[in-house]
Amino acid sequence: MEKRSPFPSLQITPPFGGVLFHAALILAGFWLAGEAVIRAGVTANLWPEPLLGTANAEMDIKIQALDRLAREKPVDCIFLGSSQLDTAINPAVFSEEYQHLTGETLNCYNFSLGTLTAGPAGKIAAILVYRYHPKVLVAGISARDFSRDFGELARPLINDPWVREKLADTNPGGWLTDNSLFYRYLGQLRNQLNPDYMQFHTRLRRELAPDGFLQYGGNDLTIDTEEFIPKFKLNAEDLSGLDEVMAMKDQGVQVILVEVPVYPDFLPYYVEGDSVKYFREFREPIQKRVDVYGVPFIYSQEEIGTYLSASRWNDVKHLNIKGADVFSRWFAKRAAEINLTGAGGLISMRANGAH
């Protein structure tokens, strides 16, 4: 006796199955045609290669720029931090000063991202090291990088499909982003419907230099007398991210940490309204953690006050172009000292401003 399905209404009859098959063929044809058109246009320089299409406009722009740079010449040095380092290090000025001091040429890029904290920085550092193989990785850190209160744009990056794909967490969206320009184009169209993304994207296109330096030209030192971080606690996720950054030295990369300063008059309002807590709650415990890895940690907060006048700050947390020129040359001298010792990552730089 012929068996009947207990769910006859769920059976796919040949006509319906045929519709699905033809729909799939049409979709595949549309996709292949779109892929061909986008790739042909990119090859013919009719339009630029589509961005990754992530939710972070700055990472989209900088990955594309760094890919282009890496195709022309090796990337020797990458800077990574939040917007504080984004505006503080001008790679061109740093490289010029470093070459003057050591005779060595470094091709550098500033991959700092607005709102980046130490947690996601660990993941981004791994991607940058494996993708571009730099000789040197400089991570700029400050107290806000270890507070759970910050990172609204950057913390979600650890869940981004492309980031997960690069960290060996295979997923359809990440694979398509890596392999399909048409898929990237669709993601780019989606982001164009997001006014916040597009406003940020437009500003970045205007202010970013080809080497990733974010150029601020203002000078407003208004200080909010309320504490910037009213209750500070080192966040476990961010401490783990710092460990991941420092662990890149096991990949043959010279890792250097640099303290990114804030405007001296702002320091009493930075961490719980007490400048002493900045050193006791942030810098001292971070130094103990850094000592385990033997990575240089270059202090700047005390010393930089003698180099940076008020006119060289964009605001109390960011340098402007003039300030970045000074800070980049100052840091090049410290980097040259590390290189000239021949001991690399085994040096402690606490002498540069121990508190």
Segments making up each domain of the chain, as ranges: 49-346
Give the number of other Cβ atoms within 10 Å of residue 289's Cβ: 15
Which of these ranges, 40-44, 67-71, 98-102, 242-246, has the smallest mean pLDDT?
A: 40-44
Average pLDDT over residues 302-320: 94
Average pLDDT over residues 161-172: 94
Q: Write out the two tokens for 107.
A: 């091709």
Q: Which CATH class is domain 49-346?
A: alpha beta
The pLDDT of residue 319:
98
**Average pLDDT of the chain?**
89
Average pLDDT over residues 184-200: 87
Looking at per-residue confidence, does 116 or 225 come out higher?
116
How far apart are the C-alpha atoms of 234 and 304, rounded to whole Å?
25
Distance of CA 138 to the CA centre of its chain: 11
Q: Is the pLDDT of residue 172 over 90?
A: yes
Most confident of 20-24, 38-42, 219-223: 219-223
The pLDDT of residue 175:
94
| Residue 108, strand partner residues | 77
The pLDDT of residue 339:
60
Q: Is the pLDDT of residue 270 over 80?
A: yes
Which of these ranges, 46-55, 118-127, 276-285, has the smallest mean pLDDT?
A: 46-55
How far apart are the C-alpha atoms of 156 and 70, rounded to whole Å?
26
Looking at per-residue confidence, does 123 or 18 come out higher?
123
Q: How confident is the model at residue 4 (pLDDT cuts 50, 70, 90)?
A: low
How far apart are the C-alpha atoms of 229 and 347, rounded to whole Å?
31
pTM of the model: 0.88
Q: Write out the two tokens for 204.
A: 């970045």
Give the number of other Cβ atoms within 10 Å of residue 67's Cβ: 13
Long-range Cβ contacts of 160-163 (<8 Å, 24+ apart)? 160/54, 160/55, 160/56, 162/52, 162/54, 163/54, 163/123, 163/124, 163/127
260 CB-side CA count, 13 A: 28
Q: Write out the two tokens for 44.
A: 């013919």
325 CB-side CA count, 13 A: 6
Most confident of 153-157, 260-264, 306-310: 260-264
Which of these ranges, 94-98, 163-167, 211-215, 345-349, has the smallest mean pLDDT?
A: 345-349
Q: Is 325 exposed, middle or buried (0-12, 13-18, 19+ CB in 10 A)?
A: middle
Q: pLDDT of 24-69, one tens digit each?
A: 888 888 788 888 988 898 888 888 888 998 878 999 999 999 999 9
The helix (H) or strand (E) run that includes residue 140 is: strand 136-141
Task: Tell me the residue length of the chain.
Answer: 355
Q: Strands of the chain (E only): list them.
A: 77-80, 108-110, 136-141, 254-259, 297-298
Q: Write out the two tokens for 337.
A: 């000292």
- How many Å from the N-terminal Cα to the C-terminal Cα in the chain? 90
Q: Is the pLDDT of residue 355 over 80?
A: no
Q: Write out the two tokens for 335.
A: 């980097």
DSSP 212-266: S-B----------SS-SBSS----HHHHHHHHHHHGGGGGT-EEEEEEPP--GGG
The pLDDT of residue 163:
94
Average pLDDT over residues 288-298: 96
The pLDDT of residue 54:
83
In this prediction, what percent of the chain has a pLDDT beyond 70?
A: 90
How far apart are the C-alpha atoms of 252 and 6, rounded to whole Å?
63
